Amino acid sequence: MIPNWMRAAGAALLLTPVAASANSEIRIGWTAWADAELVTRVAERLITEHYGTDVELVQTDIAPQYTGVARGDLDLMLMSWQPLTHEDYIERYGDDMLDLGVLYGNARLGWIVPRPLYEEGLTSIEQLTESRWRDRLGATIQGIDPGAGLTRLSRQAIEDYDLGYDLIEASDAAMTASLDRAARRDQAIVVTGWSPHWKFGAYNLEFLDDPKGALGDAEEIHAMGRLGFDEDHPEIARFVGCMEFDIELLNDYLFIGRDESTEAAVQRFLDEETDLIDDWLSCAAE
């Protein structure tokens, strides 16, 4: 069930509707997650440079992205986690969207701890019920934004494991700031997170075991378009469907983005991955 606040957020996005017909600009929704931003900005540059089409990036939460694409107010979103993480959204909006294909696979959600804590013995979500870990963690899990599929799954995991912990809902940036602070101070912390993400290059981290499978297995990230997008922009639709990233390569560029800037990471990708980009363009031209 989609909470009322998500419907309100989606409605806010729809105040400036876009006609679902061919035009000189396309709108791509994106969320302020490291991988979403990098992939979206790479797509923006390539669509603009190779297809002569202007791109407007609309930063918003996941829920309004699904609403916007399903209603035709957004043309694309490049961060649909399937089959589990965004299962609720796909069930609700999937028939009103166009699945353009898989951008990358072997993505993973989970709860993450600094490696020193893992080596001390905290290796599984089940162990969080133990008083020694509960006390050190203050019975809290540092989460991300409320509309994220990972947040929904994490709430369920707290129930499934009967933890009685509080889930702190905040932005991805707030989560990584908390992780950085805990790492520098050698403090215990559990954060909700995923791979690919730059934090795996910045810190020594481990996923906690999830024997109940509450947070799912490896997933695929899909590109989704509004219905009719492939008719209005056939070349771009084919191109987006041909984009495919290796997750380890993506992690490398995410770390560059963290060390320098997203703009620098995007430019280095465009400069250094010319063979891969040529493959995408050739695929789209077939």
Regarding pTM above 0.85, the answer is no
Domain spans, the chain? 4-106+218-285, 108-207
C-alpha pair distances (Å), 35 with each of 103, 165, 228, 254, 256: 11, 28, 27, 7, 12
Which H or E run includes 220?
A: strand 219-226
Residue 207 contacts residue 157 (beta carbons within 8 Å):
no
Residue with tokens 């990230």: 221
Q: One digit per residue, pLDDT tens: the chain, 286 residues?
A: 333 333 334 444 443 444 333 447 999 999 988 899 999 999 999 999 999 999 999 999 999 999 999 999 999 999 999 998 899 999 999 999 999 999 999 898 999 999 999 999 999 999 999 999 999 999 999 999 998 889 999 999 999 999 999 999 999 889 999 999 999 999 999 999 988 988 887 889 999 999 999 998 889 999 999 999 999 999 999 999 999 999 889 989 999 999 999 999 999 999 999 999 999 999 999 9
For the domain 108-207, what is the CATH code?
3.40.190.100
Residue 226 contacts residue 92 (beta carbons within 8 Å):
no
Give the model's pLDDT for residue 132.
96
Give the model's pLDDT for residue 176.
92
Q: Does domain 4-106+218-285 have CATH number 3.30.420.40?
A: no
Give the model's pLDDT for residue 12.
44
Confirm whether 4-106+218-285 and 108-207 share one CATH topology: yes
Give the model's pLDDT for residue 148.
86
Give the model's pLDDT for residue 211.
96
61: its two tokens: 């939460």
